[in-house]
Amino acid sequence: MINVAIDGPSGAGKSSVARLAAKELGFVYIDTGALYRSVGVAALKKGYDTTDREKVVSMLPEIRLELGFIDGIQHVYLNGDDVSEDIRRPEASMAASNVSALPEVRAFLLDLQKNMAKTHDCILDGRDIGTVVLPDAQVKIFLTASAEERANRRYKELKEKGHEVDYDALLEEIKLRDYNDSHRAAAPLRQAEDAVLLDSSDIDLPQTVEKTIQIIREKVGNL
């Protein structure tokens, strides 16, 4: 099986790039960020403070997560409910950052991710795929962009969906999440030593996907 790990900070476009590259190559795309967001949403639905370790850990045995595809679009199911829209809201982003700092949550989702990678040629994206989840992945890419560009992309995305958002608030949220993700004790965000750095600040999505596919093909041969 060929495994591709794409890591990087929040809002760098990892999910879009991984999904489109996987489609082009005929690989399975596994959105690991959606799994962490779903755990965060599960806590929010219960009214829990997502920084409350005891409460978050206590609900893990009740959580059942599934990934499915409808018309080629990935949907995420939390205990049977489609939460694909809920997990993309701004509050879900910070909730995901909080719960992903908990070793118990990471262990809960680790086996799920590893088992998927054992049975499919796949692309996984997240914060620690190349360093923790799939350290032996044949291809590792660290995808990033400036905080300002990431905030601008998220602003446009949310506005198009009809959400009222404030750019400055989004920028501060992204900077805070960057700090939290890179300074947490459990599997902090960092570039793997053997990962290829890809900065998408000044290129658009199709160009980023093209460069990603080029890197994959150079690492594993023509596909």
- With vertex at residue 192, the alpha carbon angle to CA 188 and CA 198, rounded to the nearest 5 degrees, is 105
Q: Is the pTM of this model over 0.85?
A: no
CATH, residue 192: 3.40.50.300
Total of domains in the chain: 1
Task: List, for residues 59-112, the tens digit of each pLDDT value.
Answer: 999 999 987 777 767 789 999 999 999 999 989 989 998 999 899 998 999 887
34 within domain boundaries? yes
Query: What is the pLDDT, as a whole number, of residue 176?
Result: 92
**What's the rounded Cα separation, in Å, for the pair 57 and 163?**
31
Q: Do 144 and 9 contact (CB within 8 A), yes or no?
A: yes
Residue 81 CA, distance from chain mean position: 20
C-alpha torsion sign, points 7, 25, 135, 196: negative
Any domain includes 106: yes
The domain of 17 spans 3-215
- Could you give the angle at which helices 32-45 and 103-119 cross, rounded to 10 degrees? 140
3-state secondary structure 72-108: CEEEEEECCEECCCHHHCHHHHHHHHHHHCCHHHHHH
Q: Does residue 220 lie in a domain region?
A: no
pLDDT at 83: 96
Least confident piece of the model among 18-32, 62-76, 99-113, 129-143: 62-76
Confirm whether 132 is domain-assigned. Answer: yes
Does 140 fall in a domain? yes
Give the phi and the psi of residue 52 in degrees, each rounded to 5: -85, 95
Sign, Cα dihedral of 19, 21, 26, 32: negative
Q: Is residue 142 part of a domain?
A: yes
In a domain, 41, yes or no: yes
**222 inside domain:** no
